[in-house]
Structure 1
Amino acid sequence: MRIYLTGAKTRVGLPGFSLMEMLIVTALFSILVLVMAQTFSSFNLLHRKIANRSVLNQDARFITEMVVRAARNNPLSYSSPYSARETELRLVAPTGLRIIFKQSDIGQAECDDLPAVRCLLLSTDGGASWTPVSGKNISVERFYVYVRPSVSPFELINGAYQNDVQPFVTLDLSLRYMASNPKEQDTLQVQTTVSSRVYLR
């Protein structure tokens, strides 16, 4: 048996990558993967935010239509004068009971929602019972009502009416979708004015 011993030889020009080239390629690949992952995450976040905005739009449209319809078809309750800006809307139903829209307190039991949520409540029996109008995970950040005139134009005092203005209501509403991720939350503001179609003179 023959054994051949050869000395160490340096081979130059063989195909392959050097250590530095491998490090650069690995770094570029890592950066590319990171960018792709970040882009995917951003698109997912945007998709969820658009979905939340859609829910918010539907809820705002529902609340606005309900309040506008009620204010248009029922006379305003002037049992007490209205201030410049109110946080509840008081109407009189055909039964004589008051219809009341108001913003709840934070975490109020009637909302049956997240602890930080304030919902919009409706009472059709003068405040004896309340029903939430706004949807799940929708927080009513602002519910302002501006009523004009502030005193009834249909009440005779000393043989004369207080004013000749047909009652109208301006609603200022702000809603927030309370997503678990703060980046997915969205806010929507709505303002509209409606005149009462009830003529009592």
Structure 2
Amino acid sequence: MTSLAVSDAILCFSCSYSVFLLLQQKTFANDQKLPATAALIGFILMSLASFFGTLYYGFSPIWADIHRLFTHAATFLALPLIAGAYAHLAWPLNWHKPMWGRLIIALMICFEIARRFQAIETTYTAIGIMSLLVILLVGFKFIRQKPSFFIYILVGSASFSVAGLVIGTHGYLAGFLRLDLFHYLLALGSLSLGTGYFLFVRKPQGSPQLSL
């Protein structure tokens, strides 16, 4: 399982880099700080899931339960929170903290319902597709004004889509563990979405907006 520890470590590094970027909130416009915090939580969950995955696959099975816990949390919360932050860029939601809290609670309820009806995979796929569609719509909205921003979104969305819908997590593909390929694609997707979002909301010195 050494390869899984390595791929999870790379995913952890990628998500942690996005966390680092989104912690630079002093450079963000005030109306972007709360959505950026939501995206930050999403990347933190992914980072923790992959961190404990590295410990589980690389060191000891005692980390299995906590790895599973954070994997479920990241699976149901990360992409919707990131998508919500992206949606705020195109269509200001004017959500206050309670609204973001309600979104998290709603997603947790979805997970519990899916668990009871043994439909976790189906529910996760549906939530993931809707989240990626929202992010892609944001990209298309800015495709002319900020083409490089659209490229970040396109790469990120494609990486997540191929990972979830094509690669999967079970078995082998061309001699490689599908779960390894899944991790690598998520790493690329997280890096792209985190960097693209940061570059959009960051305010360079002496300028109120960033031109991508």
Structure index of larger Rg: 1
More strand by share: 1
- Give the TM-score normalised by the residue count of structure 1: 0.25
Structure number with greater CO (CA < 8 Å, separation at least 6) is 2
